[in-house]
Amino acid sequence: MGLLSAMREDTIAQNLRRIRNEKGISLSRAADQTGVSKAMLGQIERQESSPTIATLWKISQGFGMPLSFLLQEVTCTESCGAVRFPGSISVRIVFPYDAMLGVETFEITLSPGQFHQSEAHVAGLVEDIFVLSGGMELHVDETERQLSQGQAVRFAADQPHAYRGLDEGAVFLNTHYYGRGAF
């Protein structure tokens, strides 16, 4: 296990436990709210299981908070470390969630050929992609769009969507607009 993975599990586990304690809810109640099983939530908190990005989205939506609240190192306000999900994408927070704007920005790394499926995000969420390097496909609205370095797209992300890294993979900025005052 690499250093990034170790940091990630620690950070996510601590964030989940702290947020659940702040809300004053049990694991059972958290399971009801998020659709993630009580057993899985407990395993994440004890660092016995590595959550997928899909599971983290479920937790953030169920708790009514942005994704970055789970990924963010408490002591880190900018240039935070990347979170690498085993066999999946790597995520680095560029701008943590801004409550005034209702916006967070990540830098996402897709490996060559890597396919990443995302379920529908919370209603009204708009997503931006801006390709920093490499090339990728975006699957949304029943169409596939190829995006290369410097290209951008904005789309309604409250529907299933997917990304694929092309030959050399891709690094892209990914902004989530939850809406002003969402959380």
Site residues (vs Mn ion, CB under 5 A): 118, 157
Nearest to 51 by CA among 28, 85, 18, 80: 85
Closer of 72 and 118 to Mn ion (Cβ): 118
Closer of 14 and 151 to Mn ion (Cβ): 151
State how far the Cα of 79 lies from the Cα of 112, in Å rounded to an integer.
25
Closer of 122 and 157 to Mn ion (Cβ): 157
Residue type, 62: G
Closer of 36 and 157 to Mn ion (Cβ): 157
Shortest separation between residue 42's beta carbon and Mn ion, angstroms: 27
Closer of 45 and 165 to Mn ion (Cβ): 165
Torsions phi, psi for 19 (to 5 deg): -65, -40
Torsions phi, psi for 49 (to 5 deg): -140, 140
Shortest separation between residue 161's beta carbon and Mn ion, angstroms: 6
- How does strand 126-140 pair with strand 161-177? antiparallel
Shortest separation between residue 128's beta carbon and Mn ion, angstroms: 10
State how far the Cα of 15 lies from the Cα of 177, in Å rounded to an integer.
22
Shortest separation between residue 118's beta carbon and Mn ion, angstroms: 4
Shortest separation between residue 21's beta carbon and Mn ion, angstroms: 28
User: Under DSSP, is residue 12 helix (H, G, I), strand (E, B) or coil?
Assistant: helix
Number of residue whose CB is nearest Mn ion: 118
State how far the Cα of 14 lies from the Cα of 18, in Å rounded to an integer.
6
Residue type, 50: S
